[in-house]
Structure 1
Amino acid sequence: MSAALAALLLASSAPAAGAPPVVTVDTGTIRGETGADGRAVFRGIPFAAAPVGDLRWRAPQPVKHWQGIRETVRSAPACLQIDYGWNREAAANQSEDCLYLDVATPALHPAKPLPVMVWIHGGGNRAGGGPGPGDSPVVARGVVLVSAQYRLSALGFLSHPALGAHSGNYGLMDQQAALRWVQANVARFGGDPANVTIFGESAGAQDVGLQLLSPGGKGLFRKAIEESGTPGFGLPPRSLADNEALGEIIATAAGAPPHASAAQLRALPGKALIEASEHADVPNLDDDSFIWLQAVVDGVVLTETPATSLARGVGKDVPLILGNNFHELGLYGAPERAIAQGFGSNAKAALTAYGLAPGGTPPADLALQLANDLTFRCPALHVAAERTRAGAATWHYQFDIDGPGDKPVTHGSEIRFVLGEDGAASDAAAPLAAYWVNFAQTGDPNGAGLPEWPRFGPRGTSLELAASGARQVEGLAARTCALRAVP
């Protein structure tokens, strides 16, 4: 789903200078390393017990205390996944024992506690990993940066009748466990547990959005940022029964007998389950790579559909930045079919809006524009509008800056301006890192020297970031998104 971390080329920390930093967390003492700019970096800190054996498909369990000093200078293996090319580094170093996080801080003992930003990586909830952001220039802007891993694919999101009444969403539970670890420990790294911002891209952004709506996420963070992702990606949610039926298909394909017991499921090779989910034919889903991007209403982590929660104003007390890139991913399937599915009873009007009705002229980039509207732009604008109606502080953006070598803007293009080397460049080029850090500090992205970014508001005001600079726009994609059926 995301080439985000593949495109994130961050400078490696220089060898430690002087005594390595040592911190005692609630389960023992850890020793990290000092970066060239003086930051303290700790990699591969366990925040939950290894989810293996009898702990597979269970809520994350506490870490056992250790004696002595634990070296935390290497990031942990990524969670089990398929090699899609963009995630080759994560796929080359993976393990079912993967519930670890990295922490980078500009100062262990600052004059006053620092804002905390917790990164949730993307990858379709089936790939990617946590390493990388600890070396990000954004740390030098005065934030404690945490990057957490979570179970992926069938090991993180599968439901099955044998696993209990509320199985599934283990990956979201892992994220909540990591956030509880942050609440308990981040002050020891110079961070303020009362000022935590969660942010993510693609599936990571979806998960941020779901944490805003989950009862288990309440109180674990104060602000949120969704880059190119929303709760459910505009896809119809799945019920627990739907996800259990899919889980039975996957388990059987992985080698389990029909009506398998929980013990039989936990005895299956993890890689077999990942491979089986890769080839599953998901009902009512044209692009099966989105298999783990449909929100699953399991009754515990998610007690109702995202649309219902948003309409009720759930999460309105948490300020939110969200948005998308001008182009994201291509369209899977024919435009007419996508319009029929995505616009429902308004499909005829949508055909006209996209120039596909008789006598019309579709845009040259129809497939990209339609895919962006259905999966990214309209869902984000819907979330912004629902939150505005509830009185929630919300800022919306659209990013339109080409990549290196004039590579057209695409999915993940903004990350290098948030976490990568471009985040240390002039804020005039693309001030995302400055907006993001201001937001983490104060709950408002605006600050000295930055173009004004008003809240979304009833007029639908967005900030468009282009190579020529940032400008306010109103009613972005209003004509087409007004026709979009909300799942």
Structure 2
Amino acid sequence: MRTFRRRCVMALPVVLLLVAGAADPTRPVVDTDAGRVRGRDHGAYSTFEGIPYAAPPVGARRWKLPEPAPRWEGVREAGAPGAHCVQLPAVGQGGPSGSEDCLHLNVTAPSGGAGRSGTRPVMVWFHGGGFVNGSGDQYRPERPAVAGDAVVVTVNYRLGVFGLFGHPELGGAPDFALADQQAALRWVRANVGRFGADPHNVTVFGESAGGLSVCAHLTSPASAGLFHRAIVQSGSCSTTMPPRSLLPGLGAYEPFAPQSRTVADGVAAAARLGCGGTPGTPGTPGTLNCLRRLDARTLATPELTQTFSTVSYGNALLPLHPRRALETGRFHRVPVIQGTTRDEMRIFVAPTLAAEPIGGEAAYRARLERSFGAGTARAAEAAYPVSRYPTPAAAWAAVLSDASFTCPSLRDSGALARHVPTYAYLFSDRGAPNFTGLPEVPGVPYGASHGFELPYLFTLAPLTDAQRGLADRMTGYWTRFARTGVPGAAGAPVWPRYGAPGSVLSLAPGPDGVRTVDARAAHHCALWDARWPGVTTAG
């Protein structure tokens, strides 16, 4: 008996050591190329948040291309998101928030795969926000992860003046925001296999500015080999808005601008900030050195944020305007899903009505002429008569939705379809939840507005039973496309390739809500192709 007790006492430290070193199943640990990370288990899925994919772009690294993240010792906590990138509030007043040390990503994986190689598809999400707002952690992707058995990665990237600045001392406008995304894709290629996924089956997807980012990667030589499929949501290469479409003082919106314009804007901005020194002059600091000494809050002003919110082309990352690259077939040969929402522009038009209401047919006609010219205005008024809509403002929103989003997207889909499998959709649920925080405006219900498809792919807002059915179908289409290159969902209609009339998939709740439609005819795309040729003439 005494011997047994002695053996138990001697064994106790070993037992305690084993218990102390045992893995906590609620805190899974995965090795990455920079060190180990500890995430969180949520039952059906695990999350690893705030993982650095590049070195902090601070101090001397401000306005430099992303560099590899430094290694760390021990296990890094990855149980909460990292800081979002410096930005102003998306809605309302307020100063800048966030940090320049923001190049983090978040991984959501079905439980059981972390730490082991696997064959699950990878879906890398680039958030929207006009290249001035947003963060990856705003999107909870457990639906595609669990129901679609996919590993989903959401990414932060530099925004506004920090991500899209240009200046002669930089050699142009290097598009740091897109370069950050490419660095994240390189991280995925090197590390995602340890989260149970296949690094050779990567789908990039995004909405609004995220969709524009995907468009840019389709045409960027530097993105070659970093992804294998692409989903563009409300951000085609041809997205544009006519001049004075929202307010009298606003010019045309083009998300892609020639590098020379961005560089000129950078020179002017530096001078206003008191940093207009002569580059290369011995004994004096260069302009960039001066700008890098400024506090982030000095740079994150509404003026600079808006000025540097367009992606530059004519540089090494984007040699051509992406629209022109698609038209001439100079893009990566991968399958593509691309689509828009039925009422894209309602959420942009409605908040401007207090400043400039559209009181009747005369005001509606004046808006048409102001933005499109007299000839196109007459044709558009015949195709979009006020009598067909609840208010003149709703008619104007329909014009802008078709001219700025839906028809340009279908035009790009036609260019893509000449070379790769392409699938086009139109999100049509006019009862979709408004998760934006923006109040509804009488006379212009948001309906299926810009971004309103997002709660059907991510956990953002409550859905009705019928809407959850649509969410299941959309998740199935998106994730099977990520897995195989062909969208499909159990019990859902076959999604045909884009081409012939009637090959666009309309997405709405209900037993017959998912069906094919002739979207070009329904949205007057022949009119916009013929009457507004400026959208197809970028160099």
What corresponds to 2:339 in structure 1?
A: 323
- Residues 337 and 422 in structure 2, CA contact (< 8 A), matched pair in contact too: yes
What corresponds to 1:224 in structure 2?
A: 230
1:227-273 Cα distance to aligned partner (Å, 9 max, x none): 11123623554222111111223333444336562211211222222
What corresponds to 2:266 in structure 1?
A: 247
What corresponds to 1:129 in structure 2?
A: 135
Question: Partners in 1 of 2:386 and 2:453 — Cα distance?
Answer: 33
Tell me the TM-score normalized by structure 1: 0.85
Task: Tell me how far 1:361 sits from its aligned partner.
Answer: 6.2
Relative to 1, partners in 2 of residues 1:86 and 1:362: Cα closer, same or farther, differing over 3 Å? same
Select 1:355's aligned residue among 370, 377, 381.
381
What corresponds to 2:247 in structure 1?
A: none
What corresponds to 2:432 in structure 1?
A: 403
What corresponds to 1:238 in structure 2?
A: 257
- Residues 238 and 323 in structure 2, CA contact (< 8 A), matched pair in contact too: no
Runs of 4+ aligned structure 1 residues displaced above 4 Å come to 109-112, 331-343, 356-363, 421-427
Select 1:20's aligned residue among 21, 24, 27.
27
Q: What are the within-5 Å matches in structure 2 for residues 27-426 of structure 1?
A: 27-37=34-44, 39-85=45-91, 94-106=98-110, 107-108=113-114, 112-134=118-140, 136-141=142-147, 142-163=149-170, 165-231=171-237, 233-234=239-240, 235-236=253-254, 237-257=256-276, 261-275=287-301, 278-279=302-303, 291-292=307-308, 294-315=310-331, 317-329=333-345, 330-331=348-349, 347-355=373-381, 363=389, 364=391, 365-388=394-417, 390-401=418-429, 402-404=431-433, 408-420=447-459
Task: Tell me how far 1:83 sits from its aligned partner.
Answer: 1.3
1:17-56 Cα distance to aligned partner (Å, 9 max, x none): 735211111111111111132x221111000000011111
Question: Partners in 2 of 1:470 and 1:324 — Cα distance?
Answer: 15
Where 2:179 maps in the other structure, the secondary structure is: helix
| Higher helix proportion | 2
Question: Partners in 1 of 2:152 and 2:469 — Cα distance?
Answer: 23
Where 2:490 maps in the other structure, the secondary structure is: coil
- Residues 166 and 298 in structure 1, CA contact (< 8 A), matched pair in contact too: no
What corresponds to 1:6 in structure 2?
A: none
Question: Partners in 1 of 2:488 and 2:426 — Cα distance?
Answer: 16
Matched, 1:471 2:518: no
Question: Partners in 2 of 1:246 and 1:94 — Cα distance?
Answer: 24
Task: Tell me how far 1:339 sits from its aligned partner.
Answer: 5.4
Select 1:459's aligned residue among 484, 501, 515.
501
Q: Which amino acid aligns with 2:338?
A: L
1:183-210 Cα distance to aligned partner (Å, 9 max, x none): 0000000011111001111111111111
Relative to 1, partners in 2 of residues 1:418 and 1:81: Cα closer, same or farther, differing over 3 Å? same
Task: Tell me how far 1:424 sits from its aligned partner.
Answer: 11
Question: Partners in 2 of 1:376 and 1:359 — Cα distance?
Answer: 20
Where 1:257 maps in the other structure, the secondary structure is: coil
Question: Partners in 1 of 2:480 and 2:463 — Cα distance?
Answer: 14
Question: Partners in 1 of 2:308 and 2:364 — Cα distance?
Answer: 23
Task: Tell me how far 1:225 sits from its aligned partner.
Answer: 0.7
- Residues 88 and 96 in structure 2, CA contact (< 8 A), matched pair in contact too: no
Tell me the TM-score normalized by structure 2: 0.77
Structure 1 range deviating more: 361-370 or 96-105? 361-370
1:55-76 Cα distance to aligned partner (Å, 9 max, x none): 1111101111111111111111
Task: Tell me how far 1:350 sits from its aligned partner.
Answer: 2.8
Relative to 1, partners in 2 of residues 1:122 and 1:21: Cα closer, same or farther, differing over 3 Å? same
- Residues 354 and 366 in structure 1, CA contact (< 8 A), matched pair in contact too: no
Question: Partners in 2 of 1:171 and 1:17 — Cα distance?
Answer: 37
Structure number with bigger Rg: 2
Question: Partners in 2 of 1:439 and 1:27 — Cα distance?
Answer: 31
Task: Tell me how far 1:382 sits from its aligned partner.
Answer: 1.6
Task: Tell me how far 1:377 sits from its aligned partner.
Answer: 1.0
Question: Partners in 1 of 2:364 and 2:268 — Cα distance?
Answer: 30
Identity %: 33
Q: Which amino acid aligns with 1:248?
A: V
Where 2:199 maps in the other structure, the secondary structure is: strand
What corresponds to 1:283 in structure 2?
A: none
Relative to 1, partners in 2 of residues 1:180 and 1:373: Cα closer, same or farther, differing over 3 Å? same
Structure 2: tracts of 5 or more residues without a match: 1-22, 241-252, 279-285, 357-362, 435-444
Matched, 1:449 2:484: no
Task: Tell me how far 1:137 sits from its aligned partner.
Answer: 2.0
Task: Tell me how far 1:437 sits from its aligned partner.
Answer: 0.7
- Residues 47 and 62 in structure 1, CA contact (< 8 A), matched pair in contact too: yes
Q: Which amino acid aligns with 1:433?
A: T
Please report the RMSD computed on the Cα atoms of aligned residues, expressed in angstroms: 3.0
Task: Tell me how far 1:139 sits from its aligned partner.
Answer: 1.0
Structure 1: tracts of 5 or more residues without a match: 1-15, 281-287
